[in-house]
Structure 1
Amino acid sequence: MAEQQDWNSLSDTEFRKIFRSWVDENCPMRLRNMRKQRPVFDELADWYHALADKGWLSPVWPQEYGGMGLNAAKHIIYVEEWARLGCPRIPDHGIGLVGPLLIEFGTEAQKAHYLPRILSGEDVWCQGYSEPGAGSDLASLRTAAVRDGDSFIVNGQKIWTTLAHCANWILLLTRTSRDEKVKQKGITVLLVDLTSPGVTVRPIENLRQEADFCEVFFENVRVPAENLVGEVDKGWNLAKAVLGHERIFLGAPSRPEVALSRLEQLAEARGAFADPAFVARYARLRLDLYDLGSAFERFAKQLRDDGTLGADVSVLKIFCSELYQKITEETLDIAGEEARFLDDLPTGNGEVDAMNLYLDSRALAIFGGSNEIQRTILAKAVLGLPS
């Protein structure tokens, strides 16, 4: 029976203690600090079901739908402790994207059908947004959905679809009409069964030789009209609405923190702290991490105070991703010629996944809106510069 309590009535300290204690006791050690950044559902099924049984799988869903109902402050603590304990990232598109979308914009029938199946793990979701010609410029998407009686017929292609090969449903952005002046118009959100005839999923191996991403092809795929979320041609605002709080978590200091701890570990083993030049570089990275933590806390306070974030939060992702890259580059320098190995490097006090972290740091500057796009947002929305 899922545990229900008014978690928001607890002090932050008390909630952090309760959450940390249970997660630390129940998250299997074999899943802690995994090299694999995005494990598939089957690798995490027991932990997924344990969280669901506890009622702690979906932190921000209202409790009436099986969630914890956390406010922004408690959600930040949830994410911080998750990272601090080295817990794996579960396949979370259903929890973090589809669930909130349906709770806010879905029909009662959609909520009653899909939400319990997300919590049970019967439906595993992926996100069908990016296309070969519409990545950071998502509004240029071309995957088409044409109404045909009580169905939509979908044709097109999505790419960089995370974990599509282990999902059975996809939240799909489609083009249902075209406005030559405003390309954000004419976009519609559909819920699509990936086992439907005409769907083809092809995994894409990444730099770490893992198949995190996929391309998904749709050839005359028939989607029931009841799988429409919101209104036809008005899906752009829905898509943006559920990505609001994601922006702050893309700039959370957890990745650079892990990377710096690995750098320290390797540097100690290789005697690098005897080199004044390295100590100076390390000190700069450490101070930058303190600054990132302070910046993250400033935006977190905005969420706690009024629940809104401005466009200036884009600076967090830029700062976080570039610091992550600098730390992992320094780690490769310390590793020397061994940096070329994908295998973890022994230090006498555990192992350091130097190359794995370096390759992962390349991706953070791209996904969730590339750093170039983040700089454009800052230039236009914060500095008021012309296009």
Structure 2
Amino acid sequence: MPEDAQDWNAMTDDAFRERLARFVEENCPARLRHLKDRPRLAEVHGWQKALGAAGLLCPAWPRKYGGMGLNPAKQLVYLEEMENLGAPRLLDQGIINLGPLLIAHGSEAQKAEYLPRVISGEHIWCQGYSEPNAGSDLASLKTEAVLDGDAFVVNGSKIWTSMAMDANMIFALVRTDKTVRKQAGISFLIIPLEQPGVTVRTIRNIAGKEELCEVFFDNVRTPRENLIGALNDGWRISKTLLGHERIWSGSPRQSFSALFHLKRVAEALGRFDDPVFAEKYQALELDTRDLGSAYALVQQKVVNGEELGAEVSVLKIWATETCQRITEAILEAAGDAGGMAGEVPVGGESLDVTAPFFESRAPTIYGGSSQIQRNIIAKTVLNLPS
């Protein structure tokens, strides 16, 4: 039976884990396992294509669109097993954000055009939301799209655009009406990046890596049919995407990865012989598993078509701050090596103990900072004044 015809949800968890492990072993090179930094497209594109060809790339998508159709419990097993196996993170904006949004809001023609190209790896996506003066106040964005015949002409810029240097497509919020209140004049556009007028500049992050970018648009054209939803309805549509992004940010994926690195450092230095450390590690592991249960509950609400509220904000805070606590424990467990960047000797091994710490800083900011999430909870759950 081909992979994409498999009823994954009917498998036992153990059988499902074994199938994933066998596929990773056969298709994911050892040099890509447990990477300390986010890889570039050239490194992981072959692995991404292998997952897509096998029907294993999009765990949450319905099967009719080429996904695995996993229920929330199986999605959690998928995430945990992929992290345990050390499978690298992909350039996944098309998988976790654009795909679900198109499934919810795209036309049948747009779904047919773009979803298969996510799975094949032909299209690599990035997200064009934040701007230099429109981050937390996203509705203040200035990038403008003007309709000219059968195409929109786009001018402006986006910032903090993850992995844009490797992407060939971007989905972006743009201003299409400046005469109405700011939330009402925004549209959601798909824009090909490989064309004249597009400039991408990388930004070096806290770890000295180039992962974030600025993207500039100078009279860039995109067909009118690349408008998702109705003209000037982008703000409503964007909230769907932000919900998916925050759910993904609220997954235990990064915490599972950080736990792997914490365990590796602790074993190299014999920290588990210390009952205080062993108890701390156990508490962090339980926190991560509790997070996984909460994540599965929220995913089930998505599957049921239920409206999501402040629980998405709770999930994002929980996940991102749990991961930060784990990475701080890595530095503490590493002792003197915890203050040195790059590969350093740790108990006879060569490890980069600061990479997970640096990697965990940004998630409490992007997709709505922890402070914004707490404000949402204060307003919608506690009914506190603005």
**Is TM more than 0.5 here?**
yes
Say if 2:339 is the partner of 1:343. Answer: no
- Gap regions ≥5 residues in structure 2: none
Report if aligned partners of 2:76, 2:292 keep a CA contact under 8 Å in 1: no
Maintained 8 Å contact 1:262/1:352: no
The answer as to whether partners of 1:328 and 1:361 remain within 8 angstroms in 2 is yes
* Residue identity (%): 49
Please state how far the C-alpha of 1:272 moved relative to its aligned partner.
5.3
State the Cα distance separating 1:332 from its structure 2 match. 2.7
Matches of 1:363 and 1:380, distance apart in 2: 24
For residues 258 and 110 of structure 1, what CA distance do their matches in structure 2 show?
Answer: 35
CA contact (8 A) 1:248 1:296 kept: no
Q: Secondary structure at the match of 1:61?
A: coil
1:26-65 map, 5 Å:
26-37=27-38, 39-65=39-65
| Other-structure match for 2:6 | 5
Match of 2:297 in 1: 301
Residue 286 of structure 2 aligns with an amino acid whose one-letter code is Y
Q: How does 1:1-387 map to 2 (within 5 A)?
A: 3-37=4-38, 39-178=39-178, 181=181, 183-270=182-269, 279-280=275-276, 283-284=279-280, 286-304=282-300, 306=304, 308=306, 309-348=308-347, 350-387=349-386
Please say which of residues 93-102 and 339-348 is displaced more in the overlay.
339-348
Distance 1:317 1:21 in 2: 31
| C-alpha spacing 1:7/1:325, structure 2 compared with 1 (3 Å) | closer
Once the two structures are superposed, residues 97-136 of structure 1 have per-residue CA deviations (whole angstroms, 9 ceiling, x without a partner) of 2222233322333233222322222221111111111223
Shift in Å, 1:285: 5.3
- Relative to the length of structure 2, the TM-score reads 0.89
Cα deviation for residue 239 of structure 1 reads 2.0
Relative distance call for 1:150 and 1:322 in structure 2 (3 A) is same
The TM-score normalised by the length of structure 1 is 0.88
Alpha-carbon distance, 1:304 to partner: 3.0
Partner of 2:52, secondary structure, is: helix
Contact 2:291-2:319 within 8 A present in 1 as well:
no
Instruction: Write the letter of the residue equivalent to 1:86.
Output: G
Q: Does the C-alpha gap of structure 1 residues 100 and 264 become closer, same or farther in structure 2, counting only changes over 3 Å? A: closer
Compared CA separation, residues 65 and 271, structure 1 to 2 (3 A): closer
Moved more, 310-319 or 222-231: 310-319
Q: 1:123-161 CA distances to partner (integer Å, 9 max, x unpaired)?
A: 211111111112232222221111122221111110000
SS of the residue 1:208 aligns to:
coil
Matches of 1:130 and 1:335, distance apart in 2: 36
2:252–2:295 contact (8 Å) kept in structure 1: no
Look up the SS of the partner of 2:373 in the other structure: helix
Q: Deviation of residue 291 (structure 1)?
A: 3.0
The alignment partner of 1:373 has SS state of: helix
Q: 1:209 & 1:122 partners in 2: Cα distance?
A: 29
Of 96-105 and 183-192, deviating more is 96-105
What letter is aligned with 1:164? A
Quick check: 2:62–2:69 contact (8 Å CA) kept in 1? yes
